[in-house]
Structure 1
């Protein structure tokens, strides 16, 4: 069976994994949703959960211009050097979720 691309996975599959990660570290759904809204402009209560993750980022209503301040490594890759713009947005969110999970205050995560 072929491995499914992150771009083709549904939000309904990925969002619960992100939520599980932050809740396991004592953070809340509200903090995760605030982080996603800060980055993408999406209100998670209104997101079509059947949307692909690639479309989620391609059609984000308002990508935060301060997202370019997100620096550091995710899965061993510097997020600021990722060339594919959609993959870079995905990794930006991964980096923010990592910071949230590690206990960084929300106001610092949201730069």
Structure 2
């Protein structure tokens, strides 16, 4: 059965981006020399946490939708990527490729599902 490569790539990129955010902002808390640095790292992590959670959820929805060929899941993932970009706009540029690939994947999953139903 065919799968949407664009949706799979978007999901994998989303998981890699989430791992990067966890490592980057988690390291800001752990690798500190003073209390002020730890406080700054904790505040930065708290600001980025909603985006991290939304991107992880979007990646899961996108991958599940791509593997079971459910367009609704991929569309939900694409919308969650958009919300994640809006929540923390400074890092939105890193999510734009995932947004584009998710919407392309959504259209591909719809086409795959339409061709499978005709057969």
TM-score by length of 2: 0.27
Greater Rg by CA? 2
TM value normalised by structure 1: 0.28
